[in-house]
Structure 1
Amino acid sequence: MPREFALFGILIPTLLPLFILSIGLQTLLDRVLGWLGVYRMVWHPSLARLCIFIAIFGALTLSLYK
């Protein structure tokens, strides 16, 4: 897999679209978990959100580079 790709003549690292996609997926999952009330059972909701984001970004990165 290439490390970067050209978008309108600009070289963009491959991790940037994965980062943006993981932000979108985390936002969607965050809304669902907030609606279900999961964050009321978590000790530190902000830390839980960060861990979910890191897990999503790591999974997307591993699926691309493995």
Structure 2
Amino acid sequence: MIRELGLAGIYFPALLIWALAAMVLNLILRRLLRAIGFYRLVWHRALFDFALFVILLGGVRALAIYWMPS
């Protein structure tokens, strides 16, 4: 079940918090991949970046569910 997370009396959907965490990880990972030249091997960069974000979002969600059970 997706919960809401409260911060100073304001409730945010858990998916929003997870997506922000995944976005930060995605930005860091994209810079690292660009620095090592990995994108030369990628056919469609935007599609790869989106798939990477979805994978990271799933991982962040799985970790959040594992560490904070309801």
Same fold (TM over 0.5): yes
Aligned length, in residue pairs? 66
CA distance in 1: counterparts of 2:56 and 2:2, whole angstroms: 21
Relative contact order: is structure 1 or structure 2 higher (C-alpha 8 Å, sep ≥ 6)?
A: 1
Cα displacement (A) at 1:2: 6.8
Name 1:63's counterpart in structure 2.
Answer: 63
| Residue segments in structure 2 that go unaligned for 5+ positions in a row | none
CA distance in 1: counterparts of 2:48 and 2:2, whole angstroms: 32
- 4+ residue runs of structure 1 moved beyond 3 angstroms? none
Deviations 1:6-38 (A, max 9, x none): 212111111211111110000000000001111
CA distance in 1: counterparts of 2:21 and 2:41, whole angstroms: 27
Cα RMSD (Å): 1.7
Opposite residue 7 of structure 1, the aligned amino acid is L
| Residue segments in structure 1 that go unaligned for 5+ positions in a row | none
